[in-house]
Structure 1
């Protein structure tokens, strides 16, 4: 009887070891949740390029999944939970409004690793990551201030969250630094991806005299709407190179691939830890796209010099003296904004007209 039990135990152990070996050979499953379509050629497209880079780098060591067009809210929670339930080891949720759903699902799946883009809530199994997009907006703001002839810069904004407000302020301050007469007109479309609204906003800004237009929305429809008009524009999140050399004269590119590869490798190695990552031009997470010849050579040179100085830590886009919109002091002469203030920025700087929506 004892011998029979010993044999059964040995057999069970053998099966268990075989199952463990098979599990070790299984690919790491990595999921991605996108707020819009990967065909937007902007934000979501660029994240999906990062996903493809993971596949190319790791080969059959990983298996990736993506879900596109996921609204921020209950639908996001459902999708994130489904990915966790289906055996994904690592899940990237790539929009600000996915923050609370990510945190909620992460509590229910402590063995799954989560990475949330542009948010601020972390947990033992939730990291946050973002690019210092405002650095890129300072560079294109410099170009805008140098090139505008009407002194009116238009800005198509998505939602009044700190990330977007930072970008507006950084672009305006850089433009005003080289052109004190510049004005900024802002239209809020309350959407990350709505081609019709974005195109309509672009036309409205053009009709209001803007000869330079920026955007913090995801589609290429503003450029398509104004192609052939006397206006310059900038790629958002991806290069949007199909509109070169004009209206797209440069771009802000979000390069997620190195981060996605690094974090996937950490899961494979068993070294993944919850971290907060906020990289900019210096680390290549924020890139400045090719400046076309539609930009005068001296402006290309000064814009590149600014980008290089930001990367080297010699220039900070938010350096005083800077007042808030109501005229109250914010940064004294030579003082730079700390990350905590930037992460919670909820005000316009002095000189921007109009009220910041709630």
Structure 2
């Protein structure tokens, strides 16, 4: 066990959180494996239809007696129906993003659900803390998917938030692929680490083989941030990111870029294997990863690497 404020809050054995990734963890296999290994597995509810989500909630409840979470972007369509379903079937932990915490906080805390809110800066962290969230997930620029619009790095952002809200447990996310990364963010003041790309490259990830192969082959400088003004994303460089980069460098307006940005989808890449025209969302940490392994083995490896890293530090 590695005991931090996060493990004490959530009841996990180790402060390792598997990021909620649309399509990748929009099923029970990956989050079950992570939770049963002592970390926090997270179901990505963002793209899920209600019947699929309800079935996955059943599978999570039946598959583990350990803590697990649902990640919910508050901007998704049909959000009230999803919130109603989760209220009827409350998960142990709710990780919410892309909206204010007052929308859900009272109703879920009354049910005993621990509520973590995703933030991209110290100001948002203070507001979420003032609203009464149980903890914060702080996402830095290195992260895949949706990094902070200002692209402040994890190292700087985590330290800023830890200083701004020292009494709130923090989960650091972005650029973390191993136990050395976990040790680094704990040193910055975080209480745990969220890993996305590392668990994307696990055997339980519900993602197309071509998507995994593309991320596995990527180096640390092979991702791009595109969609500025439209909801910036980080993705592996391909035809889509090249097209968007060219439009942005040419000074095209947000309206002119909206259609090509929206036409390409994560679904096309993650479910159907369109790794050229789709959004192959992944973090810079892809370049630190050279294998696809079972999620439970990854959790154990991260813990071992963490201990080895701490042991190497000068006393």
Shorter chain as normaliser: what TM range? Answer: 0.3 to 0.5
Structure (1 or 2) with the larger CA radius of gyration: 1
TM-score (norm 2): 0.34
TM-score (norm 1): 0.31
